[in-house]
Structure 1
Amino acid sequence: MANTNSKGKWNRIVLKVGSALIAPNKKGCSSRYLLGIADFIVKCRMHGTQVVLVSSGSVAAGSSSFDTSKKRSIAVKKAMAAKGQMEMMASWDRLFDFEVAQLLLTQGDLQIHERYESIRETAFELLNNDILPIVNENDAVTSDEQKVGDNDNLSAMIAAAVDAECLIICSDVEGLYTDNPNTNKDAVLLKEVEVIDDRILAMASGPDSAVGTGGMRTKLEAAEKATSNGILTYIVNGLTTVSFNQLFAGNNPGTKFLPFKQPLDDRIHWMTHTSKAQGEVIVSNEIGEQVEDDALSFDHSDIVNVVGDFSSGETILVRTEKGKKLAKATSQHSSCVLNLMLNEDVDESAIEWQEDNPIISENTLAILEEK
């Protein structure tokens, strides 16, 4: 049943659990909140719903093994992640009587479409063999340039990759409120959100907790990614088993985000929400006025500037001189070649081939809507 739930009857879901639930006291993993989550996963699997678990918590779980009185360097945080990842996986493994598998990813794994497809294949093989995939960002080795940054957004990318029908993001509040419920007693819980616009994004004020790296803002970003791919999304309170009992019964315990009626094409969704731009091509403002729903055309004479270093085949952002974001697309040429064109260090005869080999690939063009 697509995008509906009748007592756990989704075909496939992605469940995201954050650090505040894994290691609430930053003293290693705790089963305090995980038992109810594990019970929900077991029930879903018993009723034919495949589950992919995205689990944060490696740094928080590993922090107890290190001297926390000193300022944490990047190297120390990576070491914490390496130590804590083992403890986190062991904690989940103890809670289940079926097999689990670990998938550690970086932005680079999602950035290149061939590797993205490889992740899909691996996840499907695990699910088809009744093995629970447990996904986390590979914080022990990931550089800042290769980080997704938070597991909320990672969970949305994974939900799209595995063709999930529902994404459930656990928080330490009931869902999205009109204001911060910790500081405003008049804040109202929104039970259903049809469109995530600027008004909705403005409601995400401050971090959810002192433990996790994400806040309500990243959860809304994740919901936006997922719903644009046709995936029903919930933000729920993961601190209480009531949330999971209601979800399993087909009720809404938090905030429900409705999926797009016309989801983005899978390749366009990947380009828009998963692939990270490695550089920018800035074009004249006139080009911005000629953009159509699925078309953007320009040649070397329209380029005003080239920002960053990128290779042919990498994703770039195309924007105007005024800063209007037009599209993300695969560049057919490196930044070096484009800079040569821009600086007119090559003559016209050397770029006549552009008509048959345009600057950007129309097959991976994602027109961006202005926020």
Structure 2
Amino acid sequence: MTASASSFTERPLPRWKRAVLKVGSSLVAAPGGGLTPRYALALAQFVSSSRQAGREVVIVSSGAVAAGRAIVPGALESGAVMAARQALAALGQAQLIGLWQRFFERPVAQVLLTHDDLRNRRRYLNARATLLELLRLDAIPVVNENDTVSVDELKLGDNDNLAAFVAALVDADLLLIASDVPGLYTANPRDDPSARPVDEVAEVGESILAMAGGAGSVIGTGGMATKLQAAAKAAGAGIQTVLFDGTDADALRLMAHGAMRGTLVRASLSRTAARKHWLRHAPSAPGAVLVDAGAARALSEKGASLLPGGVVEVEGDFARGDIVDVRAAEGAGARPVARGIVQYSARDIRRIARRHSREIQALLGYTYDDAVVHRDDLVVL
């Protein structure tokens, strides 16, 4: 590349407490197959220093296919190409997790997801609960697509968009996309010496997408276009995105000290405002949860979660993960006081209504959360 990361302006990194770091294949794959710590080590050091500063990081890492290629050389040249890539992903996933584990004293957890996991409400909530619990346990979640079953996603090689979904899943403040390019340019700097760096993008529109070319390396199958698509998805969830050069140790040192060098893609709304806007306007499931006066006041005035003890009655039938209206029980046809994502089905809520949260396990045989609707998943109307 003719342009360098130093062409981008050094400026403050947006403030954050939780981030998703997407690491491209080119940063972990060795030439000819296998994995290398050459760039991964500096990325891991950034994660460690962030953790020491009280911040949380979820890693979304590519590289399983490259790792598998070293175990079975020539696999892609024999048999069905898609089946071979799936087999290589299965073989290489353990090596990929092993690479990351060697850099951390704290445990590394493997989390394999498909886009279907993020579209299905119940699986979405299960994945969210697992990732948040791993962060609470001070583990380093390393997420990858479940390539052995994600035929379409594997063909696209699109961990950039998966990272955007994960950022929304865990309520991240920031999405960090590391690759082997310094950021977005007005044209492909490999082909156009007049290409200029783009320090900041207010909105990912057609003119911005037109600046993106194809895949950036022979190892990865994504490119700047998929990174911008991911940034647009993150922006819609109120999450800002930084595109930066993961091969540049100075860029990583800057980020560890609250500065950045690369392209910042802004979000039009804050993360909280975007989520509340979605909850307010998304279609709700048939039925409602009716609450007593104390619970209604706690929701509307104190920003509390809805606990089972405040539930009086349940109307209709809905599943865990549905958006449901919450109404005060007093008065016929009362307008909803709130709406939110329920952690339990209508049937389960009827069983735990008016009971203490600590009784959920005994009553149901399992527990997803102490709350029927957590305050992070609730908007007051």
Name 1:34's counterpart in structure 2.
40
Note the residue ranges of structure 2 that are not aligned, 5 or more in a row.
Answer: 1-10, 283-381
- RMSD value over aligned CA atoms? 2.7
Matched-pair contact (CA < 8 Å) for 2:25–2:62: yes
Bigger Cα displacement from structure 2, 136-145 vs 177-186: 136-145
Matched-pair contact (CA < 8 Å) for 2:177–2:227: yes
Name 1:70's counterpart in structure 2.
77
- In the TM superposition, residue 149 of structure 1 has moved relative to its aligned partner by 4.5
* Cα pair distance change 1:176/1:93, threshold 3 Å: same
* Cα pair distance change 1:172/1:146, threshold 3 Å: closer
Name 1:228's counterpart in structure 2.
236
Which one-letter code corresponds to 1:96 in the other structure?
F
Matched-pair contact (CA < 8 Å) for 1:36–1:241: yes
Name 2:49's counterpart in structure 1.
43
Q: Matches of 2:131 and 2:276 in 1, distance apart?
A: 17
Q: Matches of 1:122 and 1:267 in 2, distance apart?
A: 25
Secondary structure in 1 aligned to 2:57?
strand
- In the TM superposition, residue 114 of structure 1 has moved relative to its aligned partner by 1.4
- In the TM superposition, residue 70 of structure 1 has moved relative to its aligned partner by 1.9
Name 2:87's counterpart in structure 1.
79
Q: Matches of 2:199 and 2:81 in 1, distance apart?
A: 41
* Cα pair distance change 1:8/1:265, threshold 3 Å: closer
* Cα pair distance change 1:146/1:241, threshold 3 Å: closer
Q: Matches of 2:135 and 2:96 in 1, distance apart?
A: 20
After superposition, give the CA deviation of every residue in 1:305-330 in whole Å (9 maximum; x if it has no partner). xxxxxxxxxxxxxxxxxxxxxxxxxx
Q: Matches of 1:252 and 1:243 in 2, distance apart?
A: 6
Q: Matches of 1:125 and 1:12 in 2, distance apart?
A: 14
Name 2:222's counterpart in structure 1.
214
Q: Aligned pair 1:265/2:275, yes or no?
A: yes
Name 2:25's counterpart in structure 1.
19
Matched-pair contact (CA < 8 Å) for 2:82–2:151: no
Name 1:162's counterpart in structure 2.
170
Q: Matches of 1:148 and 1:116 in 2, distance apart?
A: 21
Matched-pair contact (CA < 8 Å) for 1:235–1:254: yes
Name 1:119's counterpart in structure 2.
127
Q: Matches of 2:14 and 2:49 in 1, distance apart?
A: 8
Matched-pair contact (CA < 8 Å) for 1:8–1:49: no
- In the TM superposition, residue 189 of structure 1 has moved relative to its aligned partner by 0.7
Secondary structure in 2 aligned to 1:184?
coil
Q: Matches of 1:174 and 1:24 in 2, distance apart?
A: 20
Q: Matches of 1:264 and 1:81 in 2, distance apart?
A: 35
* Cα pair distance change 1:211/1:267, threshold 3 Å: farther
After superposition, give the CA deviation of every residue in 1:86-143 in whole Å (9 maximum; x if it has no partner). 1010010011111110100112211211111111100110001101110000112323
Secondary structure in 1 aligned to 2:77?
coil
- In the TM superposition, residue 261 of structure 1 has moved relative to its aligned partner by 2.6
- In the TM superposition, residue 145 of structure 1 has moved relative to its aligned partner by 7.5
Bigger Cα displacement from structure 2, 7-16 vs 144-153: 144-153
Note the residue ranges of structure 1 that are not aligned, 5 or more in a row.
Answer: 273-371
Q: Tell me the TM-score normalized by structure 1.
A: 0.68
Q: Tell me the TM-score normalized by structure 2.
A: 0.66
Correspondence for 1:90 among 89, 98, 104: 98
- In the TM superposition, residue 252 of structure 1 has moved relative to its aligned partner by 2.2
Name 1:179's counterpart in structure 2.
187
Q: Matches of 1:173 and 1:145 in 2, distance apart?
A: 23
Q: Number of paired residues?
A: 270
Q: Aligned pair 1:52/2:52, yes or no?
A: no
